[in-house]
A and B are shown apart, each in its own frame.
Chain A
Amino acid sequence: MAEQQVPFTIDADFDLGEAAALWCRAHGADVVVRRGAVPLSLPRPESQGVAWQHAAGRTLILTPCGARFLVEGGSAMRYALDGGASLADLRLFFLGTALSVLAAQRGLLPLKASAVANGEDVHAFVGMPTRGKSASAAALAARGYPFFADDLLILDPTGLDTEARCYRCDDLKVWPKALELADCEKVGPVRPTSKYRKLYAVPRQRAARVSGRLRTIVYLASFKKGDTSVDRHSMHLERLSGSKKVEKVVRAAIHSRPIMIAVVGRRPLFQWVMALSRRVEMLRLTRPEIPAVFGAGVNRIAALLSAAESGAVQTCKGAAP
């Protein structure tokens, strides 16, 4: 089945979880992931940041939980677990930062986004941390838009002239206070420590497919508190265009952005984003940060996505789209 194709396959010696199962191959995989020796630093790094170094096609990631990854040439990854890091910690950082680096080394663009699907069409949500990306996607799953991706959406920039093909790989993770809002069911803790509170959860409906055609990117924003021009039911919708569109995407949507700049290069990254901005509808949706009206806001997003699919999005201020 064409929709079950992934951009590369992975042979890992640990369980990647249900959502990433379609990426896994026991033999002949494109990428082999194994536990092994991982240095604490790379010799003569070309660039480095707080928790990473990059040199000669190799990227070292040093996570604060004690998991270390060495990603090499887009085809091999070694990991080490120090300081009490668990397999659950390993999985979390693998399906986030490490897989993003791996994808980038293979010429793919990792987006920090949650997403829903409607058939072949995928609608992604990006924005600053805690703006409700995951909760919005999960809540839409109870409104006819199957949940597609959480936290990481991998985009193939090579075909952007014709379509924006994207791939999912991780399960839904939400903060405890978002469980009810998002209308999803708790599965269990993401990390085995009481100091970490995010939970794995199951949305009402999940997309079976592993890939789709990215149709819309919705940048989620909140009103400034005390803005007297809006009330608690207001929702502003703006179509992003030109440099403004690109700036928003660059800032909010590129996963692990400083590392991606090192791995891919600033200019190619910018060119990918420009090509993406020409291919997909980009919207900025501003809504009140009030739990009591979250559900009503999601209903409006569902209406917006329906309009986007029929090419009838109307930007608005103050009223429902």
Chain B
Amino acid sequence: MAGQRRIAWLASYPRSGNTWTRLLLANFLSAAAEPVDINDIGSAMSSALYHGRPWFDGVAGISSSDCTEDEAESLRPAVVRFWAQEAKREGREETPLFCKSHEACRDTPAGEPLFPDDVTVGAVYLIRNPLDVAVSWAFYLGDEGFADSVAYLNAWKSYLGGSGNHELRQRLFDWSGHVESWTGAPFPVLAVRYEDLLADTAGWLGKIASFLRLDGASDRRRLERAVAHSAFARLQENEDREGFHMRSPHSRTPFFRSGVAGDWRRHLSAAQVGDVLAAHGATMDRFGYSCRATG
């Protein structure tokens, strides 16, 4: 993978299958007999959390905790460019550099694209029914009333991380704004519905691998082994045995809690469903979710 276009963005609204997709790709790339440990994705692929303070500080050379959130955000395109450049200098050119993000695809406060086109191979964008996102998000935060998570999905100013947090501030927009920002990005984007990935995991992993021009994208055995190594029960067992660094400290349930589609039917009230449909119906229609919500 020559040239400066090295970054493969793995983007999604939170709780939309991003971590699972990273594990699928890690297991696909490792092609090993044993599954990749959920706490050690980096052993199988060059990857970063675009919002991670340790990554930012280690690459930038200045401390994010000395910067305002706006200043750190405005530096991030330069940080990811430098990361790509260093990887090339070190000869790590065989696969893309994977960068996970929950941010909306937007400009920095300095007016530059937060996700710079000039170093981007493409983006895999995970979309999940926002009704299920609301449920999963509530369990993740340990707040199982669901009203807050529905409000979060519907608020334009929603953000994650920030001052004093392990993660830099990430601005999400509302759920529809997030989806529109990514599906309208100025570089190649493969939009993958979480529900489709669940239904035909090997098939969609192959499409993702092909989109990112990874070797072995059509190797069915390799794809199926990656899927088996990333099976939900296996991830749950791994988390139960060793914990998971990405789990919220507030959560009372595992990070890999359920993973199913349609869980909203067991948890959300009619009013909460109505709130989500009122705010996001048009975008849900576009991705085939309205029937699932109302049916």
CB within 8 Å for A228 and B247 given contacts A97-B61, A257-B61, A258-B59:
no
CB within 8 Å for A63 and B62 given contacts A49-B82, A51-B75, A129-B166:
yes
Residue of chain B at shortest CB distance from A290: B249
Q: Mark B236-265, 1 if CB is under 8 A from A, else 0.
A: 000111111111110100110000000000
Cα(A176)–Cα(B59), bound, Å: 27
| Residues on B with beta carbons closer than 8 Å to the beta carbon of A224 | 39, 242-245, 247
A51 x B244 contact (CB < 8 A):
no
B27 within 8 A of A: no
B164 x A178 contact (CB < 8 A):
yes
A191 x B61 contact (CB < 8 A):
no
A96 x B63 contact (CB < 8 A):
yes
B54 x A195 contact (CB < 8 A):
no
| Residues on B with beta carbons closer than 8 Å to the beta carbon of A96 | 62-63, 66
A175 x B163 contact (CB < 8 A):
yes
B59 x A50 contact (CB < 8 A):
yes
Q: Mark B15-57, 1 if CB is under 8 A from A, else 0.
A: 0000000000000000000000001000000000000011001
Q: Mark A223-247, 1 if CB is under 8 A from B, else 0.
A: 1111111000000000000000000
B247 x A198 contact (CB < 8 A):
no
B272 within 8 A of A: no
B165 within 8 A of A: yes
A227 x B242 contact (CB < 8 A):
yes
B243 x A198 contact (CB < 8 A):
no
CB within 8 Å for A195 and B39 given contacts A52-B61, A256-B62:
no
Cα(A257)–Cα(B68), bound, Å: 21
Cα(A225)–Cα(B63), bound, Å: 25
CB within 8 Å for A191 and B244 given contacts A97-B62, A251-B58:
no
A130 x B71 contact (CB < 8 A):
no
B72 within 8 A of A: yes
Checking A52, A193, A195, A225 against B243 with a beta-carbon cut-off of 8 angstroms, the contacting residue is A225
Checking A129, A228, A289 against B65 with a beta-carbon cut-off of 8 angstroms, the contacting residue is A129
| Residues on A with beta carbons closer than 8 Å to the beta carbon of B244 | 224-226
Chain B: number of interface residues, binned into ranges: 35 or more
B4 within 8 A of A: no
A129 x B62 contact (CB < 8 A):
no
A228 x B164 contact (CB < 8 A):
no
Cα(A236)–Cα(B70), bound, Å: 37
A197 x B243 contact (CB < 8 A):
no
Nearest-Cβ distance from residue A74 to partner chain B, whole angstroms: 18
Interface of chain A residues 44 through 67 with chain B (CB within 8 A): 49-52, 61, 63-65
| Residues on A with beta carbons closer than 8 Å to the beta carbon of B249 | 225, 289-290
Nearest-Cβ distance from residue A6 to partner chain B, whole angstroms: 23
B64 within 8 A of A: yes
A259 x B61 contact (CB < 8 A):
yes
Q: Mark B65-96, 1 if CB is under 8 A from A, else 0.
A: 11111111011001100100000000000000
B240 x A175 contact (CB < 8 A):
no
Chain A: number of interface residues, binned into ranges: 35 or more
| Residues on A with beta carbons closer than 8 Å to the beta carbon of B39 | 224
CB within 8 Å for A225 and B68 given contacts A129-B53, A258-B61:
no
CB within 8 Å for A50 and B243 given contacts A64-B74, A198-B65, A224-B39:
no
Q: Which of B58, B66, B164, B248 is the most central at the interface, judged by chain A CB atoms within 10 Å of its CB?
A: B66
Interface of chain B residues 153 through 182 with chain A (CB within 8 A): 163-166
Nearest-Cβ distance from residue B100 to partner chain A, whole angstroms: 17
B164 x A64 contact (CB < 8 A):
no
B58 x A258 contact (CB < 8 A):
yes
| Residues on A with beta carbons closer than 8 Å to the beta carbon of B66 | 63, 92-93, 96-97
Interface of chain A residues 120 through 155 with chain B (CB within 8 A): 128-130, 151
CB within 8 Å for A225 and B72 given contacts A64-B67, A129-B65, A178-B164:
no
CB within 8 Å for A64 and B54 given contacts A198-B65, A223-B243, A225-B245:
no
| Residues on A with beta carbons closer than 8 Å to the beta carbon of B217 | none
| Residues on A with beta carbons closer than 8 Å to the beta carbon of B59 | 49-50, 258
A50 x B247 contact (CB < 8 A):
no
B71 x A64 contact (CB < 8 A):
yes
Cα(A223)–Cα(B69), bound, Å: 27
Cα(A129)–Cα(B166), bound, Å: 7
B60 within 8 A of A: yes
| Residues on A with beta carbons closer than 8 Å to the beta carbon of B72 | 64
A65 x B71 contact (CB < 8 A):
yes
| Residues on B with beta carbons closer than 8 Å to the beta carbon of A63 | 62, 66
Given contacts A224-B243, A224-B247, 8 further A-B contacts (CB under 8 A): A93-B66, A96-B66, A97-B66, A176-B164, A229-B243, A256-B62, A258-B61, A290-B249
Interface residues, chain A, with chain B CB atoms under 8 Å away = 49-52, 61, 63-65, 92-93, 96-97, 112, 128-130, 151, 175-178, 191, 193, 195-198, 223-229, 251, 256-259, 289-290
Residue pairs across A and B with Cβ atoms less than 8 A apart, 23 shown, are: A50-B62, A50-B79, A61-B62, A65-B71, A93-B66, A97-B62, A128-B166, A129-B65, A130-B166, A175-B163, A175-B164, A177-B164, A193-B68, A195-B69, A195-B70, A196-B68, A198-B65, A224-B243, A226-B247, A227-B242, A228-B241, A257-B61, A258-B58
Interface residues, chain B, with chain A CB atoms under 8 Å away = 39, 53-54, 57-72, 74-75, 78-79, 82, 163-166, 239-249, 251, 254-255
